[in-house]
Amino acid sequence: MAEQNFVDYVKIQFRSGKGGAGSVHFHRAAGITKGGPDGGDGGDGGSIILKADPHEWTLLGLKYTKHIYAQDGKSGSGGLKTGSDGAGVVVPVPLGTVAKDAETGEVLLEITEPDDEKVLLPGGRGGKGNSFFKTSTHQTPRYAQPGEDGVEKWIVLELKVLADVGLVGFPNAGKSTLLAAVSAAKPKIGDYPFTTLVPQLGIVEARPNQSFIMADIPGIIEGAHEGRGIGHRFLRHIERNSVLLFLIPGDTDRSIQAEYDILLNELHQFNPDLLDKPRLLAVSKADLLDDDLEQMLRDTLPPGIPAIFISAVTGKNIQRLKDMLWSALNVRL
């Protein structure tokens, strides 16, 4: 996915339609000069609706949209004629879209299922005409209801990538290389920080009829939870992953335990719930390690997390890693 085409944040002013006013009207016809009330109700205002579009992977289609307004309902009229409803607006969004109040940060709704269709802002109800208020003791009501106002809000739409497995690691840990090795995805690969600037998704076939989606997400750095580097733009995508695969290179300047602890702390500081997800550790670039060094590193691995040494270049333990991830996903389910 081209970087300029990946949009995961937009801010838009939405406004639902105002309800139409009820009518104050009395029946008039030849020979009838004082007929009863026949004012019709106003039509409902149009709603703003977010609808899942499984074919969309980004918010690019909304990048240059600043205002989305639904139509107002029409007023009622004589002869018990109800005003027409205002046309609503259905906004197609990719799976993983979160709508937040731009002022308060409150989450209004989330689109996570292929058939999701949710009302973001309801339209105002149409007012009742004076015919509605006629009673046995009040035959000629000379009033009607105004329509309800619509709702106007600035709303932020954020995209959190939906994937089964999320790759967690510092820049240059080999995440893009691994994704390219296990799937048909072709992420940009290079030996410099932030080669990956947008999430990359790939379908991994573990075994025949056993596949899952893996996401290569921009590399984390210390302080990412405070917004450093790509910061929150990176971290929020991890919230949608079912299993986290920590990737740490075997030739790291720090110890594997130290890098793992830093990564874990960044996730905890951003959202403690992320630590509830199943985790696996893959030590990458194992082709650079001889048997003695690999054994020495094994003795220093973090306890309590399944770990494996891999090489995306030579294919070492890649199939075993896929089997481990498949098992973790099925335990999760």
| Sole residue written with tokens 């294919």 | 315
The whole-angstrom separation of Cα 264 and Cα 220 is 11
Structure tokens at 108: 């209004």
For 190, list phi and psi in degrees, rounded to 5. Answer: -165, 160
Residue in this structure with the two tokens 């009330």, named with its chain if needed: 37
Residues 271/239, Cβ–Cβ less than 8 Å: yes
The confidence score (pLDDT) of residue 31 equals: 77
CA dist., res. 171 & res. 191, Å (int): 9
Alpha-carbon distance of 70 to 88, in angstroms, equals: 5
CATH 2.70.210.12 residue ranges of the chain are 1-159
Main-chain dihedrals φ then ψ at residue 156, nearest 5 degrees: -100, 130
Contact 152, 201 (CB under 8 A): no
Residue 146: phi, psi to the nearest 5?
-75, 160
- Residues in the chain where the model's pLDDT stays below 70: 1-6, 184-198, 219-234, 332-333
Contact assessment for residue 68 and residue 89, using Cβ atoms and an 8 Å cutoff: yes
CATH class name, domain 165-332: alpha beta
Q: Map residue 283 onto helix, strand or coil.
A: strand
pLDDT per residue over 221-230, tens digit each?
Answer: 555 445 444 4
What is the tens place of the pLDDT at every residue in 9-52? 899 999 999 999 999 999 988 878 788 999 999 999 999 999 99
Kindly state which CATH superfamily the domain 1-159 is placed in: GTP1/OBG domain (2.70.210.12)
125-162 pLDDT, tens digit each: 999 999 999 998 889 999 999 999 999 999 999 988 77
* CATH 3.40.50.300, the chain: domain bounds: 165-332
What per-residue confidence (pLDDT) applies to 271? 84
Residue 235, SS3? helix
Which of 222, 208, 215, 251 is CA-nearest to residue 236?
215
- For residues 306 and 244, give the distance between their C-alpha atoms in angstroms, rounded to a whole number: 11
Rounded to whole angstroms, the Cα distance separating 110 from 93 reads: 10
